[in-house]
Structure 1
Amino acid sequence: MKNLAGLMKQASQMQAKMEEVQNSLNALTVEGAAGAGLVSVTLTGKGDMRAIRIDPKLADPNEVEMLQDLIMAAFADARAKVETANAEEMRKVTGGLDLPAGLKFPF
């Protein structure tokens, strides 16, 4: 019974740490860029888009397709950075243990 109480205490501490990490990730903003910085996208730590910046040089009607591609690339860049930040924070909470494949941060 003593081991169960200790396990429950550890689980409670882990949950508190997870909530703390989740709050810090909610405050995180990450910028991804494409086209040598002509397009940038800012995401939150949860992956929600907060801002997009497009260099005025790209406002040419003949370049709409390229602009669309750059926006997608900038978003993908920012999203990858968010996933890396999430994984790093999770490793801190789990003491370096890798989570099983498919198990991700709770959002």
Structure 2
Amino acid sequence: MMRGMGNMQGMMKQMQKMQKNMKADQEKLDQTIFTGKSADDAVVVKFTGKREMKDIAISSEAVDPDDVEMLQDLVIMAVNDAMQQIEEETQKTMGKYTRNVPGF
């Protein structure tokens, strides 16, 4: 009977270690800056891993009062680029914690 208790304590310690590592990895990811760019770098955005925009730079060539739609498209392109990078890095970093876990 005692042998089962030892296994349980070992599992609990492993879980606590995994939770600590998971938290540290999430914090590192949240603080990472991801840079998204549109075609020709006309619009460049910077986001944290928490998906908070920290900066946007728009080149003067992208600003055409007669073609606001183009600028909107460039902003969308840059933001989507950054979001894709965040998603990929999140999967790469945090996915190891959910692999082989039922329901994830």
Which range, TM-score by smaller chain? 0.7 to 0.9
Structure-2 change in CA distance of 1:43 and 1:13 (3 Å): same
Taking every aligned residue pair, what percent have the same amino acid on both sides?
A: 35
Deviation of 1:97 (Å): 2.8
The answer to whether 1:36 aligns with 2:60 is no
What is the aligned partner in structure 1 of residue 91 from structure 2? 87
Structure-2 change in CA distance of 1:54 and 1:98 (3 Å): farther
Deviation of 1:89 (Å): 1.1
TM-score (norm 1): 0.83
Structure 1 or 2: larger helix share? 2
Secondary structure of 1:42's counterpart equals strand
Secondary structure of 1:7's counterpart equals helix
Secondary structure of 2:71's counterpart equals helix
The answer to whether 1:13 aligns with 2:38 is no
Moved over 3 A (4+): 98-101
What is the aligned partner in structure 2 of residue 69 from structure 1? 73
What is the number of residues matched between the two proteins?
100
CA RMSD of aligned residues (A): 2.0
